[in-house]
Structure 1
Amino acid sequence: MKLLILSPSFHGYGESLGRGFAAAGCDVTTLRFDSLTSVREKVANKLLSELPERLTGTSQVVDDRASARMVEAVLSQRPDAVVVIKGDRLSARVNEAIEFVGARSVLWLYDEVRRTRHTEESLDRYPQLVSYSPLDAAAFTAAGRACLYVPNAFDPTMQPMPRQIDRVLFIGARYGRREQLMLSLARAGVPHLAVGRDWSHHPFDRLRTWQWHRPAVEAERDLHRIDGYALTAGAPAAINIHGDQDGFTMKTFEVPGVGGVQLVDRDEVAEFYEPGEEVLVFHDEDELIDLSRRLIADDRWGDRIRRAGQRRTLAEHTFGHRAREVLKLWA
C-alpha cells in the first residue's frame, strides 16, 4: 500500500507513525503541513498568528498555504491511502484532492477533539476517525461516525544511550497540576528536574512563551525528543502527569519504551502495564515524594521495573502495533 501521512511537526510523531506503517509493510511518505524551517517564518508566525490569537482570543481556522501544499502532494503522489494527523487547520480542498485520486482516508486524533479546531463539518470530511481518547471514540460512534479507539505508542527506532542523572525527571508543558507536583518535590528536598520552555528560566524562553513567571524548581531548556529519551532512560524515574485528559499520553509508552521508570498518576494504566511491576502509580503528593525518594535510594528496584516495562512496551505498544490495527480497516 502506498501511504501518505499528513502531519503536524509536533515532536516528529508523524514520522514515528510513518515508521510504524512501514514496519507493517506500507510504502510511506510523511509530510509536515505546518513546518516552519527558517527564522523568518518562525518570527512571522509569532507576529501574524500567535500574537493576534492572544490579543483577540480567536484563532485562524484554516491555513491556506499549508492546505495548498498538501493538495499538491496528494495530486502528485496519488497514494492509495492518506492518514491525516489532527488536521484541524487543513481546508476541505485537501479532502477533495484525496477523493479525486481515489485514496482512502483516516483522521487520526492523538488529543481530545475538544482541544482542536475541528467542527462537525470538518469531521464529516473523513469516512473514518481514529482517536486515542476512549470517551471521544465512544461519543463519535454513538453519533454515527466510524471511529476506532487506538492508544498512543512508542517508536522503537528511537533508543538513545542513557544520559545518567540523579534527579527525578519531568519533561513537558507546565500546567497547574504539573507545577504543583514539581513544587512539592522541591519543597520536600527531592532532587528533581523539569525540562521544557515553560519551565526554563532563560530570557528567550520566557519571551517565546509569552510568560515571564517561572516556579522555583530546577529546570532546563527544551530538548529534542531523542535527547529527552536519553535523559528519561538515565533518570531514577520520570513523571507522567495527565490532568483532564481521558486518553493516555505518549509518555505513558515512551518512558518504559526507552527503559525508564514511570511514575504515573492513573490507576487505569493497568489497561497497558502492571502497576508495581512495570510502572509505578502515585495518587497524591506524599506518595510521589515517597516513591521518588525510594527510587533514588534503591536503583536495583528501579532497574527491575525498567526491564519489565520495556519488555511489555516492545511486545505490545509500538507504533507498528497501532498501525496494524488501522490497516485492518482497509483489509
Structure 2
Amino acid sequence: MIQPGGHSVHPFPGHPSDDTGRRGWEDGLKDGYAEGYLRGRSKSIVEKARPPLPFRQIRILYVSSGKGFPYSPIDEAVIETLKTLTASVVTTEVSQPIRELAAAHRPDLLLALDGMDLPVEQVDAVRALGIRTAIWLTDDPYYTDMTTKIAPHYDYVFTLERNCLDLYRSLGCRNVHYLPFAAYTGHYRPTLTRSAVRRQVSFIGSAYWNRVEFLRPLIGPLMEKGLMINGIWWDRLPEYTQYPDRIEIGKWMGPVETAEVYSGTKIVINLHRSALDSSVNNNALQIGAISPNPRTFEISASSTLQLVDVREDLASFYKPGVEIETFANGDELIDKINFYLSHEKERQEIALRALERTFREHTYSHRLNELLGTIF
C-alpha cells in the first residue's frame, strides 16, 4: 500500500518490512494460531458432556497408603473420586485402629491403597466382622517380595500389572483383577489458555539406572532439541553438570505443576523403569512388566504428544501412531522427535486424540467404577 508522498506501508499493523522480520512475523502468527487451535480443541474435549457413571448406595472405609508424597496425590484422587460414586467415604491411615473403625462404621467395603504398611492382622480382623476387603496394589511388579505376603489376606486383589495376575492366583487369591491407574482430572488436564510453560521436549521422573543408561548416549542430540529434565537422582548422569539450566536435580514435582509442564511441552518422553533392577526393586521372582505406568495416562490427559517406550499391553489403552507414539530404541526416539517437532499438525492431532481417549475411558472415575462393579 502506498501513502500520499510515496511512502510504503503495510496493511497490517506491526507487519515488518524486511524479509527476515517478515518471516519472523509470519512464524509467530503461525505459532500463535497453532497454540490457539490446540487450546481451543482441548477445551472442547475437556468440557464435553459425558454420560454419568453409576452412583452406588454403599459405604467405603478407605485406608490410605500412609507413605506421603508421591503416593498422597493418588490417595487424593481415589478419595475424591469415591465421594462422587458412593454414598459415604470414611478415610483413615495405616497407623489407626482399623478394626475398631470398621466395627463402628460398618462399611460395605474396606479399600486399601498399596497396603504394605497396613498390618495384615488388622485386615483379618475386619474380614472376621463380615466386611469385604480389597487392596489396590500400586507398584507391581517391583515389590512382589512384599505384596505376595499381604495379598492373600484380602477378598479382592487389584493390580496394575497384568503379569501379576497369575502370581496372586497361584497364592490362593480367589478374586484377582487387572486395574491400572489412570488420570485424575482434578490434577492432570491441559492448560486451556496460552501456557506459561514453553518447552520443546521434557522428561519428568527419577533417574533409575535403565533410564540413565538409555539417555546417556542421546543426551547431546536431545539437548539440541530442547530437552529439559526434572526429577531426583539425575546426578547419576555424568553429563548433568554440562546442562545446569536444563537438568533439575533432586526435586519431586507435584501433580499440578507436572501437568502444567506436560501441557506446555510439545513432546513428553515416557521411559518406564526396569522391573529387573535389583538395586531398587524387591522382585526376586524377576517378573517382567508389560503394562503401562500411571504416567502414560497422566501425560495423555495433558494434551501433549507422548513418546513412550514399547510395552506389550500399551495398545489395550492407546492406539500407537494414532493416540500415542512409541519408540523401541534411541535412534527411533530421535527420529520421531525430529519429525514431530517439524510437523505441528500431526503432533497436535495425536495429542488431541489421546486427550479425548483419556477423558472418555481412562480417568479414576472409570477405574473406580470398574472396581466397585467387580465387587458389588
Question: TM-score, normalising length from structure 1?
Answer: 0.78
The correspondence for 1:67, drawn from 87, 92, 95, is: 95
- 1:183–1:215: 8 Å Cα contact kept in structure 2? no
The correspondence for 1:311, drawn from 331, 356, 363, is: 356
Tell me, in whole angstroms, the C-alpha distance in 1 between the residues paired with 2:334 and 2:87: 45
Q: How does 1:7-156 map to 2 (within 5 A)?
A: 7-8=64-65, 9=68, 10-31=71-92, 33=93, 66-68=94-96, 70-71=98-99, 73-99=101-127, 101-115=129-143, 118=146, 120-145=148-173, 146-156=175-185
Q: How does 1:219-298 map to 2 (within 5 A)?
A: 219-220=247-248, 221-242=251-272, 243-244=274-275, 245-266=289-310, 268=312, 269-298=314-343
Gaps of 5+ in 2: 1-57, 276-288
Cα 1:240–1:96 change in 2 (3 A) is: same
Tell me, in whole angstroms, the C-alpha distance in 2 between the residues paired with 1:93 and 1:140: 19
> Could you say which structure has the larger radius of gyration?
2
Amino acid aligned to 1:133? E
CA RMSD between the two structures: 2.5
Secondary structure of the residue aligned to 2:203 is: strand
Secondary structure of the residue aligned to 2:95 is: helix
- 1:16–1:155: 8 Å Cα contact kept in structure 2? yes
Tell me, in whole angstroms, the C-alpha distance in 2 between the residues paired with 1:24 and 1:231: 30
- 2:123–2:153: 8 Å Cα contact kept in structure 1? yes
Aligned to 1:61: none
Amino acid aligned to 2:61? L
- 1:19–1:319: 8 Å Cα contact kept in structure 2? no
Amino acid aligned to 1:192? L
Secondary structure of the residue aligned to 1:67 is: coil
Query: Which segment is superposed worse, 290-299 or 164-173?
Result: 290-299
Aligned to 2:54: none
Tell me, in whole angstroms, the C-alpha distance in 1 between the residues paired with 2:229 and 2:79: 30
Q: Deviations over 1:64-103 (max 9, x none)?
A: xx43454554455442211111111221342144235542
- 1:67–1:93: 8 Å Cα contact kept in structure 2? no
The correspondence for 2:207, drawn from 158, 174, 181, is: 174
Amino acid aligned to 2:132? R
Gaps of 5+ in 1: 34-65, 202-210
Q: Deviations over 1:236-260 (max 9, x none)?
A: 1111111333321001111111212
Tell me, in whole angstroms, the C-alpha distance in 2 between the residues paired with 1:212 and 1:17: 35
The correspondence for 2:220, drawn from 172, 179, 187, is: 187
Q: How does 1:205-224 map to 2 (within 5 A)?
A: 215-216=240-241, 218-220=246-248, 221-224=251-254
Secondary structure of the residue aligned to 2:117 is: coil
- 1:74–1:97: 8 Å Cα contact kept in structure 2? no
Tell me, in whole angstroms, the C-alpha distance in 2 between the residues paired with 1:106 and 1:267: 27
The correspondence for 1:165, drawn from 198, 218, 229, is: 198
Cα 1:256–1:294 change in 2 (3 A) is: same
Amino acid aligned to 2:160? Y
Given the alignment of the two structures, is residue 6 of structure 1 paired with residue 63 of structure 2, yes or no?
Answer: yes
Query: Which segment is superposed worse, 154-163 or 319-328?
Result: 154-163
Amino acid aligned to 2:270? N
Tell me, in whole angstroms, the C-alpha distance in 2 between the residues paired with 1:20 and 1:185: 40
Tell me, in whole angstroms, the C-alpha distance in 1 between the residues paired with 2:306 and 2:105: 41
Q: Deviations over 1:137-186 (max 9, x none)?
A: 12222443120111221112223634432231111111122123433442
Tell me, in whole angstroms, the C-alpha distance in 2 between the residues paired with 1:119 and 1:25: 28
Question: TM-score, normalising length from structure 2?
Answer: 0.69
Amino acid aligned to 1:196? G
Q: Deviations over 1:92-125 (max 9, x none)?
A: 3421442355421101112215515526543221
Secondary structure of the residue aligned to 1:230 is: helix
- 2:183–2:364: 8 Å Cα contact kept in structure 1? yes
